[in-house]
Structure 1
Amino acid sequence: MKDRVAVIGIGCTKFGDRFERSYEELICDAAFEAYDDAGIDPAQIEAAYLGTYLPGSGGGKAAVSLADALRLYDRPITRVENYCATGTDAFRNGCLAIAAGTYDMVLVLGAEKLKDRG
């Protein structure tokens, strides 16, 4: 579907002090809500873009460390950092990858855990 991009599903966790959920759990909660909203299986996702600004987010782990939890086995997961435009830049990267014909379906994520680095 080169040159055409659409958002087919969304997921979002509750904002606030979320000390009871880890960084990874919050990301997975939103991702699986998006999978359900779109009516797709994670196996249909060809790549993912994770927007997270703070170097220590997720314990400073690379985005690929989320592959198993997101059920994105052997898929590229790119971590995007761009100060206050991080989420928008992750979305832009996902859209450009689809518009260029590189992928047909991607997952774009944005996550920060500012008060709790757990």
Structure 2
Amino acid sequence: MPHFIVDCSQSILAYHDEDTINEQIHHTANASGLFAEHEIKVRVNPYKNYLVGNKRDEFIHVFTHIMQGRTTEQKAELSKAIVTQLTQMFPHIDNIAMNVSDFEKATYCNKNQL
């Protein structure tokens, strides 16, 4: 944990490949100081078929899931840092966004907790 899940139009991969996107988001998340580097997970889901405002405009949206306990300000700074990095990488794409959702400690379980 945390998980950074990048939904995007497949066409953006012509500018930067998935490995580069993963590495840049990983680096930016790690630089935030909010997470242990070995726990950061990033993946890209490119979509061939999509609509944005009823058009085929390219898009990137990062869905981020983190363990509860960070402040609203920390989450906002994280979102801004990731969106800034993606905007630098993809200056021609108008639709770049991110949101952060919290995992609830009481209901979270992974294999190591069994």
Structure 2 length-normalised TM = 0.32
- Specify the structure having the higher radius of gyration (Cα): 2
TM-score by length of structure 1 reads 0.32
